[in-house]
Chain A
């Protein structure tokens, strides 16, 4: 099956994602008592085989990253990978805990909390659009180099929805990359949905 999306499908997907990110921003503001906005400068659909090269474009091979993975299952199942630099994760924890210094547990907690909010909002929105129910599993977090992110498990997914996100936490940029890993069946559902929305739009 081809994972390629045409420009019209991508436009609709960007719109859906923008709505989800709007919700995510509102949720973050309400829950974390704050701040700013969340932008999506880039939405793309790529093959999982190209993910390593894609990640390599933005991430430094020498730097360590907080990589949080969260599984979701159901008719639209997959896994979300949220990648954030160590510096950004430290800034995030300082903001969330309102403290100048933070412990390792607090940093992990902040990253997982943000991942959970982002994942739940984005995937719930997609699931609602697709009219399916999804279940979320506990995220797992690890510190790794960017070359270690794409492992066999990641490659077992066929397609990746790429969302490059910047969260403005007051004056500090926290840059995170979100990758929604899905399988053929889920991506076909998404394509059908986007086509349906296009039909409605041009009917």
Chain B
């Protein structure tokens, strides 16, 4: 098949190889790109049998592909991933890749049906092939990492108490461990607000502080009382982390829980009186001394009250220790439930209690003490017992010494006792 001068010039300018074979597989055209890349000049190959010049070519396959292209009147192709290239060409570009021979994409198109002439087009796809190999290697690594991640996710799911929470507080995913911990099925929690797990023991203000922090994109952590489905109290250390999307916009939160119930129970045992369950003397002392530090920052005084049950020894002797213990429990309960959340009451020892009333005047402190005295006097005790208490109280301010303040309150109590009991004395 004759190729016109114009077409020859055109094919010589292309950055790809083009061979024209006649019906006897003799080369009738060999373009410039092939001359350069194979180092075989046109005059050395034109008119020669392609299979003689390149004995490595599988003649049966190429002949079949040529026949197919004629029959279908469409191109046929060699597999671009094949290891043996059609025309072996050494790569002359220096690359970091490992391909020494040019990777080729070969198409065979019929170009003259009558003369059974075909054009073999060869494209250098070495760089694409290298990129594919590299990509395949990277994908293999990604797959291995994904497998690892999946196994770790499984590990997390089974061992970490955690939830994914939307910006409005709805649980969008929870771990199996969280479900077990709170006694719920996963379906019961998904779509519910995370506050479902909270307890009324959580002080007011904690939630507003928590939400303002996390909605501002910061982490929050703290100890909270939570409730299981069966209303069992669980103490947790909750850590909430913000999760951002690719644009840095707050997307959701991750909530991680650590069970600190046993630690909390131990702490409670350490700071509470085992009989009355109100704070013990050690905890009161700690609080009282820290209050003195705070008191220096404020000009409003606070009141210290010492309360003693009148004739307690007689009650024990007459009604027995059990009745005495029950009386202590009732008095402690009245005191604890009559004070404000910022005040404090503790068992000082025996039948004595101490109370701190923050930021009160003398008159207010006396009024509170009088009310408490009346409540105790009117309360119902076991064995139809009636009992009274004596109150010694004092005020302390920023310039006072804690020991001196305690002594004043103790002296006031002494006066109340000596003055006939069942009374409030201020000193």
A residues touching B (Cβ–Cβ < 8 Å)?
27, 30-32, 104-105, 108-109, 112-113, 116-117, 120-121, 124, 136, 138-141
Complex Cα distance A23/B77, Å? 20
- Contacts A31-B71, A104-B83, A112-B77 aside, 15 further interface pairs with beta carbons under 8 A come to A31-B67, A31-B68, A105-B79, A105-B84, A108-B79, A108-B82, A109-B82, A112-B79, A116-B72, A116-B74, A117-B68, A124-B74, A136-B75, A138-B77, A141-B81
Name the residue on A nearest B60 (C-beta). A97
Q: Does the CB pair B61–A109 fall under 8 Å? A: yes
Give chain A residues whose Cβ lies under 8 Å from the Cβ of B77: 112, 116, 138-139
Q: How far is the CB of B4 from chain A (nearest CB, A)?
A: 24
Q: Which of B64-109 contact A (CB under 8 A)?
A: 64-65, 67-68, 71-84, 105, 107
Q: Does the CB pair A113–B82 fall under 8 Å? A: no
Number of inter-chain CB pairs below 8 Å: 52
Q: Does the CB pair B61–A116 fall under 8 Å? A: no
Q: Does the CB pair A121–B84 fall under 8 Å? A: no
Interface size on B, residues (CB 8 A): 21
Q: Does the CB pair A105–B71 fall under 8 Å? A: no
Q: Does the CB pair B75–A113 fall under 8 Å? A: no
Give chain B residues whose Cβ lies under 8 Å from the Cβ of A136: 74-75
A105-B84, A113-B65 known; A141 vs B79 contact (CB < 8 Å): yes
Give chain A residues whose Cβ lies under 8 Å from the Cβ of B72: 27, 116-117, 120-121, 124
Q: How far is the CB of B379 from chain A (nearest CB, A)?
A: 74
Give chain A residues whose Cβ lies under 8 Å from the Cβ of B67: 31
Shortest beta-carbon contacts, A-B, top 5: A138-B77, A120-B74, A120-B72, A108-B79, A105-B82
Interface centre among B73, B79, B82 (most CB of A within 10 A): B79
Complex Cα distance A118/B81, Å? 21
A109-B78, A112-B77 known; A138 vs B83 contact (CB < 8 Å): no
Contact of B71 among A30, A108, A113, A141 (CB under 8 A): A30
Give chain A residues whose Cβ lies under 8 Å from the Cβ of B82: 105, 108-109
Give chain A residues whose Cβ lies under 8 Å from the Cβ of B81: 108, 140-141
Give chain A residues whose Cβ lies under 8 Å from the Cβ of B61: 109
Give chain A residues whose Cβ lies under 8 Å from the Cβ of B64: 31-32, 113
Q: How far is the CB of A145 from chain B (nearest CB, A)?
A: 12
Complex Cα distance A27/B73, Å? 12
Give chain B residues whose Cβ lies under 8 Å from the Cβ of A121: 72
Q: Does the CB pair A140–B83 fall under 8 Å? A: no
Complex Cα distance A117/B82, Å? 19
Give chain B residues whose Cβ lies under 8 Å from the Cβ of A124: 72-74
